[in-house]
Amino acid sequence: MTTICVLCGGVGAARFLRGLLRVVPPSDITAIVNTADDMRLHGLAISPDLDTCTYTLAEVINPETGWGLVGETWQAKETLDRYGGQTWFGLGDRDLGTHLYRTQRLDEGATLADVTREITAAWDLELNVLPMSNDSVRTRVTLTSGETIDFQRYFVERQHADAVRHVEFAGADRARPAPGVLAAIQNADCVVIAPSNPFVSIDPILSVPGIRDAVVQRRERNVAISPIVGGGAVKGPAADLMRSFGHEVSAAGVAALYQPLAAHLVIDTVDDHLAPAVSETGMTPHVTNTMMTAIDVTTALAEFTIATVDPTASRSV
Amino acid sequence: MTTICVLCGGVGAARFLRGLLRVVPPSDITAIVNTADDMRLHGLAISPDLDTCTYTLAEVINPETGWGLVGETWQAKETLDRYGGQTWFGLGDRDLGTHLYRTQRLDEGATLADVTREITAAWDLELNVLPMSNDSVRTRVTLTSGETIDFQRYFVERQHADAVRHVEFAGADRARPAPGVLAAIQNADCVVIAPSNPFVSIDPILSVPGIRDAVVQRRERNVAISPIVGGGAVKGPAADLMRSFGHEVSAAGVAALYQPLAAHLVIDTVDDHLAPAVSETGMTPHVTNTMMTAIDVTTALAEFTIATVDPTASRSV
């Protein structure tokens, strides 16, 4: 048995997990998901990255939007529009049911991990999906204008168009890893840092006391997948943030960031020429197609990724 | 100008207001609505009686259910069903938009009266709709079994099938009338007690300190419409509750309850023979058709009702 633990943001991580499920039995996979993007809106507890992972793996993600549920309708939003309510964060009618359920269960005293287990089970997912923490951690983005705003305001409402000075994870210092998180990291045969945003998806997970240490301590059996391909982000503001924070926007820049965390870095074939620069940081580069545009590519990427740590690990399931 | 103030529960009151709007200009009408049925479910602030009044007057009430919005869909509920969530309280997708908006505004610090004004304005209503209080008052129902449950659990989930020992209005002692409520009662030319449930719609309004006194002090210019017709309730558990609490289930029983509050009682033509018994309680009986099955009947009832207090008051508008 080869057990895999994946540190996850949203879309990129969800796609990677979809491939991983084709090469490792679900019971051997633990996904630890960023919850610093979570928010309360309209009184509802919304966990975007958890839901993106769940919906993607359940094959019910909305292909038109990349988030929310397939077959979505927008009746609640139309009523909100009538009132001049806040509609910048898209909440489809089907998707609302998930937020209603989560909110009710949290109000009843369930933990976010409890609710996540219930929701993933209801979608017949067999892998172990864990929020990074049951405690509230919130990514706050300080813009170069000096204004500090919640992550979803930056990411969704303003379409991550603002220049960012820094990000912080409010509440992280008091947060505890969700039950099972540290053990999953410590006991996995391979820890994968998914191709997610280093600053606003992976860093918040590592900001929960205990998690970074647990990852660093087993560096030799950890592998990251570069979210930067050909000098740009596959999706989202990762490239802009790297630039803002003074890092080289390349797979080599990612290596410089991730080298304390993992011995291995998977980079795209277009970045083949950067392999020496990656090596210079102390990470071992591994080159393959990382563009998860089709499930076969994604499956091959998953197999390739875990083989960087243990060449005998993967097999088709 | 004849100003009218109506103490309101849900369906019966909403229908009466619909007729009243055809005989009095909207700016001369204040509806004071029971909010002790309100609840938080799935984190959302739900105000059933306020919404029934608003949707009915906006002519968008769902004719199939008698609550919620016309053209409703149930996608959020289907998702909730998948999770085994709480679906006993029907929340349609369109209706959800109202609850989302109300919850967000309350979380932002708006009062329930603020939000109610915004929502009714968005539906182009010109009458003044006030919650009885901005403070939380919650009807709690103690069953003969000894169990005490929230009103909506009794009313919706259990379909008001349980025998009731008593009701209480938690928080009423600390609640204040919403701004404008006492003035509307004091200054109206006519106060109408709508044909709503005396125990769980009207009594909660009167339980807010100051409101009962304001009503009693102007008893001679107040008129109630009996919610009991032909020995039964037109809708809901009013008859069962009257019986449980030891009252005669008839228009005369209603008169015995309401005589401290109003000088006049409108009773249905089928209860014509009870006029002497009503008189004996000290209320003046007025007989007409009170079954609001068509808008013409409802309009005539509204005109008739306010004429009991001031025969020159109403005119078609």
**Strand extents, DSSP E, chain B:** 4-8, 29-33, 39-41, 44-46, 128-131, 138-143, 148-150, 164-170, 190-193, 222-225, 228-229, 232-233, 264-268, 284-288
From A170, A188, A211, the end of a domain falls on A170
* CB proximity A98 to B under 8 Å: yes
Q: What pLDDT is stored for residue B316 in this prediction? A: 47
Q: Residue A289: inside a domain, yes or no?
A: yes
Same domain, A84 and A194: yes
Cβ–Cβ < 8 Å for A94, B75: yes
Q: Report the distance separating Cα A99 and Cα A90, nearest Å.
A: 12
Contact: A79, B85; criterion CB under 8 Å: no
Q: Report the distance separating Cα A38 and Cα A262, nearest Å.
A: 27
CB-nearest partner of B100 from A73, A80, A92: A80
* CB proximity A107 to B under 8 Å: yes
* CB proximity A156 to B under 8 Å: no
Q: Which of A166, A37, A129 is nearest to A89 (CA)?
A: A37
Contact: A94, B107; criterion CB under 8 Å: no
Same domain, A284 and A295: yes
H helical segments located in B21-139: 48-57, 75-83, 93-107, 112-122
Same domain, A268 and A182: yes
> Mean of the pLDDT values across residues B305-316?
77
* CB proximity B84 to A under 8 Å: yes
Q: What pLDDT is stored for residue A317 in this prediction? A: 45
C-alpha B187: how far from chain center: 20
Q: Report the distance separating Cα B105 and Cα B111, nearest Å.
A: 8
Q: Which of B50, B73, B103, B151 is nearest to A99 (CA)?
A: B103
Q: Which residues of A touch B45 (CB under 8 A)?
A: 43
More confident residue, A174 or B236: A174
A233-239, long-range: CB within 8 Å, 24+ apart, which pairs? A233/A197, A234/A12, A234/A195, A234/A291, A235/A11, A235/A12, A236/A11, A236/A155, A236/A160, A236/A197, A237/A155, A237/A160, A237/A164, A237/A197, A237/A200, A238/A197, A238/A198, A238/A199
Same domain, A64 and A146: no
CB-nearest partner of A97 from B69, B79, B104: B79
Q: What is the DSSP string of A272-316?
A: GGGHHHHHHHTPEEEEE----SSHHHHHHHHHHHHHTT-TT----
Same domain, A166 and A176: no
Q: Report the distance separating Cα B31 and Cα B129, nearest Å.
A: 5
Checking DSSP bridges between strand B164-170 and strand B138-143, what pairing results, if any? Answer: antiparallel
Q: Report the distance separating Cα A57 and Cα A49, nearest Å.
A: 12
The count of other CB atoms within 10 Å of the CB of residue A238 is 26
Q: Quick one: closest CA in B to A81, which residue? A: B97
Q: Which residues of A touch B42 (CB under 8 A)?
A: 44, 99-101, 103-104
Distance from CA of B213 to the nearest CA of A (A): 36
Q: Residue B146: inside a domain, yes or no?
A: no
> Does the pLDDT at position A312 exceed 90?
no
Q: What pLDDT is stored for residue A1 in this prediction? A: 61
Q: What pLDDT is stored for residue B317 in this prediction? A: 44
Range of the domain at B46: 4-137+171-309
From A150, A170, A190, the end of a domain falls on A170
Q: What are phi and psi of A192, to 5 degrees?
A: -110, 130
For residue B228, the 8-state DSSP code is E
Same domain, A144 and A271: no
CB-nearest partner of A100 from B80, B119, B123: B80
SS3 B91: coil
Q: Residue A313: inside a domain, yes or no?
A: no
Q: Residue B162: inside a domain, yes or no?
A: no
CB-nearest partner of B101 from A72, A83, A96: A83
Per-residue confidence at B235, pLDDT binned at 50, 70, 90? confident
> Mean of the pLDDT values across residues A169-181?
98
Same domain, A223 and A157: no
> Mean of the pLDDT values across residues B165-191?
97
SS3 A2: coil
CB-nearest partner of A118 from B83, B86, B91: B83
Cβ–Cβ < 8 Å for A72, B91: no
Structure confidence by residue, pLDDT tens digits, A7-59: 999 999 999 999 999 999 999 999 999 999 999 999 999 999 999 999 999 99
Q: What are phi and psi of B56, to 5 degrees?
A: -65, -45
Per-residue confidence at A62, pLDDT binned at 50, 70, 90? very high
Distance from CA of A159 to the nearest CA of B (A): 22
Contact: B79, A98; criterion CB under 8 Å: yes
Distance from CA of A91 to the nearest CA of B (A): 10
CATH number for the domain harbouring residue A288: 3.40.50.10680
Contact: A96, B103; criterion CB under 8 Å: no
CB-nearest partner of A104 from B79, B85, B96: B85
Nearest-Å Rg of the Cα atoms of chain B is 19
Same domain, A65 and A152: no
CB-nearest partner of A85 from B77, B95, B101: B101
Q: What is the DSSP string of A180-242?
A: THHHHHHH-SEEEE-SS-IIIIIHHHHTSTTHHHHHHTTGGGEEEE-SEETTEESSSSHHHHH
Q: Residue A56: inside a domain, yes or no?
A: yes
> Does the pLDDT at position A118 exceed 70?
yes
Q: How far apart are the first and last CA of chain B?
A: 12
A268-272, B5-9, B41-45, B307-311: which range is least confident on average? Answer: B307-311
Nearest-Å Rg of the Cα atoms of chain A is 19
Q: What pLDDT is stored for residue B1 in this prediction? A: 61
* CB proximity B121 to A under 8 Å: no
Q: Quick one: closest CA in B to A70, which residue? A: B75
Same domain, A108 and A48: yes
> Mean of the pLDDT values across residues A282-298?
97
Provide the token pair at A148.
């500090």
Same domain, A226 and A299: yes
> Does the pLDDT at position B177 exceed 90?
yes
Contact: A96, B76; criterion CB under 8 Å: yes
> Does the pLDDT at position A76 exceed 80?
yes
Q: Quick one: closest CA in A to B79, which residue? A: A97
Per-residue confidence at A310, pLDDT binned at 50, 70, 90? confident
From A117, A147, A170, the end of a domain falls on A170
* CB proximity A78 to B under 8 Å: yes
For residue B212, CA distances in Å to A14, A163, B185, B267 come to: 59, 59, 10, 22
> Mean of the pLDDT values across residues B197-226?
98
Q: Residue B143: inside a domain, yes or no?
A: no
Distance from CA of B70 to the nearest CA of A (A): 12
Contact: A43, B93; criterion CB under 8 Å: no
Q: What pLDDT is stored for residue B14 in this prediction? A: 97
* CB proximity B83 to A under 8 Å: yes
Q: What pLDDT is stored for residue B234 in this prediction? A: 84
Q: Which residues of B touch A81 (CB under 8 A)?
A: 97
Give the torsion sign (CA, A45, A49, A54, A60): positive
Q: Which residues of A touch B72 (CB under 8 A)?
A: 75
Maximum Cα–Cα distance across chain A:
59
Q: Which of A252, A246, A245, A247 is nearest to A230 (CA)?
A: A252
A74-88, A126-140, A285-299, B228-242: which range is least confident on average? Answer: B228-242
Contact: B103, A42; criterion CB under 8 Å: yes
Give the torsion sign (CA, A70, A72, A77, A78): positive
Same domain, A76 and A223: yes
> Does the pLDDT at position A290 exceed 80?
yes
Q: Residue A314: inside a domain, yes or no?
A: no
> Mean of the pLDDT values across residues B268-272?
97
Same domain, A73 and A149: no
Instruction: Name every residue whose Cβ is closer than 8 Å to that of residue A124 and which is 6 or more positions away in sequence.
Output: A58
Q: What pLDDT is stored for residue A37 in this prediction? A: 96
Q: Residue B280: inside a domain, yes or no?
A: yes
A 37-66 residues with CB below 8 A of B? 40-45
For residue B28, CA distances in Å to B23, B92, B298, B314 come to: 10, 33, 18, 11
C-alpha A107: how far from chain center: 25
- The ipTM value here is 0.91
When the pLDDT of each residue in chain A is averaged and rounded to a whole number, the result is 95
Burial class (CB in 10 A: 0-12, 13-18, 19+), A219: middle
> Mean of the pLDDT values across residues B213-227?
98
Q: Which residues of A touch B114 (CB under 8 A)?
A: none
Distance from CA of B40 to the nearest CA of A (A): 9
Instruction: Name every residue whose Cβ is closer than 8 Å to that of residue A219 and which is 6 or more positions away in sequence.
Output: A260, A261, A262, A263
> Does the pLDDT at position B114 exceed 90?
yes
Distance from CA of B175 to the nearest CA of A (A): 23
Per-residue confidence at B312, pLDDT binned at 50, 70, 90? confident
Looking at the structure of chain A, the number of domains it has is 2
B-interface mutation test, from A83, A98, A152, most B Cβ less than 10 A away: A83
